[in-house]
Amino acid sequence: MPTLETQQFSVSFGPQHPSTHGVLHLQMDLDGEVIVNCTPHIGYLHRDFEKICENRTYTQIIPFTDRLDYLGAMNNNFGYCLTVEKLLGVVIPERAEYIRVIIAELNRIASHLLAVGTFVQDLGAFGTPLLYCFREREMILDIFELTCGARLTYNYYRLGGVSADIPEGFVQKVKDFIRYFRPKLTDYHRLITNNAIFLIRTKDIGVLSKEKALNYAISGPSLRASGIKFDLRKEEPYSIYPRFEFDIPTRNSGDCWDRYIVRMEEMEQSLRIVEQAIDKIPEGDFSAKLPKIIKVPAGELYFRTESPRGELGFYLISDGSAKPYRLKCRAPSFSNLSVIAELVKGVKIADVIAILGSLDIVLGEIDR
């Protein structure tokens, strides 16, 4: 009796595809609908960030950090400025610290909103949850625009503080946003979190075990969804984070749903931080006095902060001149993406999209 022969075939998933989150290219070998092998190819968005930095002054680098993780640009600014400031040994005015934390946490909410929105969009809830998320994110962007004049690439943080004081009406706008956003979160839970179809699409899909997460150096919400309570804001507190009360949401099974719910709960925690900080902004300078040409003393330093996607680290070597000798960026998305080849083995195409969406990568940061 002749037997039916089946053949594997290979599909290029991206860099032009409706749901690859930027220009990621996945080379997938398929057996029907099941993935046998998957190779991620990156580099389509490479702009040579680290080399550019060697030819720019310390202030000039800030707008380039915006373009790493463009969804959490404020947090990138924050991380970079903290790194340089630590080597400079400059004291930041209280007011600037409060402004920085409020802005960074608002940016975290905006980033998570987009992560959740695109994740659900990729699962096939076409448009609706994504546009709801955009609607809320737009309010945050309005606040940012009022403060620094840009909606995506902010360049707001400066060495020693921020570029401008908060404008009139900022506090009221942030409070309005908090009041507006809380009920919206319940709407999301009704629309997405408990939805039966969403549950079967994400529960027990792409399970990332504790050990694997540690081995691949996963960080951020994806790590916390695997049951490891690790948040740099608590572990290695920087800026004024120790003054605020907030929890670190964790989950144990490490599947797509857990990664989603951790992000949802982190938004609530960020709201809490903003709520505590907004009323306490002290009077004073918004920036420390620094010379016009900033020369960082020779030395080297690795400093890491918690960006919306995980551990964002900058490794800075200074030779005492006005330009860094070397600046290495440890991007969280890069490590988070590295696990994808192992996670998607043996799942169906539809699950690849779910896993990719739940890891929440930004290609600007991976390719740098």
Partner 1 sequence: MMFKISPENWAFLIEFAWLCAKAAGLLGFVSLSVMFLIWWERKVSAHIQSRLGPMRVGWHGCLQTIADTIKLLLKENIVAKDTDKVSFWLAPLVSFVAAFLPFAAIPFAKNLVVQDFGLGLLYIFAVSSLGVIGVFMAGWGSGNKYSLLGAMRASAQIISYEIPLVLSVLSIVMLTGSLNMTKIVEAQGQVWFAFSQPIAFLIYFISALAETNRAPFDISEAESELVAGFHTEYSGMKFSMFFLAEYTNMFVVSAIAATLFLGGWQGPFLPGIFWFLAKVYFLIFLMMWIRWTFPRFRVDQLMNFAWKFLVPLAFLNILATALFLVLKK
Partner 2 sequence: MIKRIKRIFSDSFSLLQGLAVTAKYLFSPAVTLQYPTQRWTPPERYRGRVALRPKKCISCQMCVRACPNYSLEVKFSLGEDKKRKLSGFIYHLDTCLFCGLCVEPCPTAAIFMNQEYELAVYERKELVMDLTEADKNVE
Binds 42: which of partner 2, partner 1, none (CB < 5-8 Å by kind): none
* In the complex, least distance from residue 32 CB atom to partner 1, rounded to whole angstroms: 8
Binds 167: which of partner 1, partner 2, none (CB < 5-8 Å by kind): partner 2
Closest CA to 50 of 80, 13, 15: 80
Binds 110: which of partner 2, partner 1, none (CB < 5-8 Å by kind): none
* In the complex, least distance from residue 220 CB atom to partner 1, rounded to whole angstroms: 23
Nearer Cβ to partner 1 (19/153) = 19
* 243 secondary structure, DSSP code: G
Write down the residue that tokens 């030779």 correspond to: 319
* In the complex, least distance from residue 346 CB atom to partner 2, rounded to whole angstroms: 27
Binds 277: which of partner 2, partner 1, none (CB < 5-8 Å by kind): none
Burial label for 291, CB within 10 Å (0-12, 13-18, 19+), is exposed
* In the complex, least distance from residue 169 CB atom to partner 2, rounded to whole angstroms: 10
Give the tokens for residue 244. 């605020």
Nearer Cβ to partner 1 (193/287) = 193
* β-bridge pairing 34-41 and 161-162: unpaired
Nearer Cβ to partner 2 (95/304) = 95
Nearer Cβ to partner 1 (124/297) = 124
Which stretches of the chain bind partner 1, using CB under 8 A?
9, 11, 17-19, 33, 120-128, 131-132, 135, 191, 195, 197-198, 200-201, 348-351, 353
CA 351, CA 321: separation in Å to the nearest integer? 50
* In the complex, least distance from residue 181 CB atom to partner 1, rounded to whole angstroms: 15
Closest CA to 201 of 355, 45, 325: 355
Write down the residue that tokens 């989603």 correspond to: 260
Specify whether the CB–CB gap between 218 and 211 falls below 8 A.
Answer: no
Which three-class secondary structure state does DSSP give residue 227? coil
Binds 59: which of partner 2, partner 1, none (CB < 5-8 Å by kind): partner 2
From the CA atom positions of the chain, what is the Rg in Å? 21
CA 238, CA 122: separation in Å to the nearest integer? 35
* In the complex, least distance from residue 139 CB atom to partner 1, rounded to whole angstroms: 12
Which stretches of the chain bind partner 2, using CB under 8 A?
56, 59-64, 66, 128, 132, 135, 138, 145-150, 153, 155, 163-164, 167, 187, 190-192, 194-197, 199, 292
Q: For residue 41, give the H/E element and its range.
A: strand 34-41
